[in-house]
Structure 1
Amino acid sequence: MNQQKETVIENCHHTLEWIENLHNISEEKWRKPIAKGKWTVAEVVGHFIYWDQYFINRIPEIIDESTLTQVDIESVNQEASRESKTKSKEEIFERFHQVREELIQLLQSLDDDLWDQEFHTNNGQYTLYGDLKRLINHDQHHIKQLEHVIY
Structure 2
Amino acid sequence: MNKTYQQFESTIDEITKISDTEYTLLLEPIQEGKWSIREIIGHLYYWDKYNVEVMVPKMQENANLPPFPDHDEHNAEGIAKLEGKSLETIIDLFIKTRKRLIDSILEVKPETRFTIGKGKRQFSGESFIKIFLKHDQHHLKQIHNKLA
| TM superposition score normalised by structure 1 | 0.84
Runs of 5+ unmatched residues, structure 1: none
Query: In structure 2, what is the equivalent of residue 108 of structure 1?
Result: 106
The 8 Å contact of residues 44 and 142 in structure 1, kept in 2 or not, is answered as yes
- C-alpha deviation, 1:70, in angstroms: 4.3
Taking the aligned partners of 2:57 and 2:114, their CA distance within structure 1 comes to 11
Query: In structure 2, what is the equivalent of residue 119 of structure 1?
Result: 114
Q: Which amino acid aligns with 1:119?
A: F
- C-alpha deviation, 1:122, in angstroms: 5.9
Query: In structure 2, what is the equivalent of residue 98 of structure 1?
Result: 96
Query: Which among 132, 137, 140 is matched to residue 140 of structure 1?
Result: 137
Query: Which among 53, 60, 65 is matched to residue 63 of structure 1?
Result: 60
Taking the aligned partners of 1:122 and 1:150, their CA distance within structure 2 comes to 37
Cα RMSD for the two superposed structures: 2.0
Taking the aligned partners of 1:84 and 1:122, their CA distance within structure 2 comes to 28
| Residue deviations 1:94-144 (CA, integer Å, cap 9, x gap) | 111110110111122222323xxx325662332123332210110000000
Q: Which amino acid aligns with 1:83?
A: K
Q: Which amino acid aligns with 2:134?
A: N
Per mean C-alpha deviation after superposition, the further-off stretch among 67-76 and 42-51 is 67-76
Answering whether residue 38 of structure 2 is matched by residue 42 of structure 1, we say yes
Query: In structure 1, what is the equivalent of residue 75 of structure 2?
Result: 77
Q: Which amino acid aligns with 1:40?
A: S
Q: How many residues align?
A: 144
The equivalences for 1:12-51 within 5 A come to 12-51=8-47
Higher helix share: 1
Taking the aligned partners of 2:64 and 2:80, their CA distance within structure 1 comes to 31
Runs of 5+ unmatched residues, structure 2: none
The 8 Å contact of residues 38 and 87 in structure 2, kept in 1 or not, is answered as yes
Answering whether residue 146 of structure 2 is matched by residue 149 of structure 1, we say yes
Q: Which amino acid aligns with 2:92?
A: E
Residue identity (%): 26
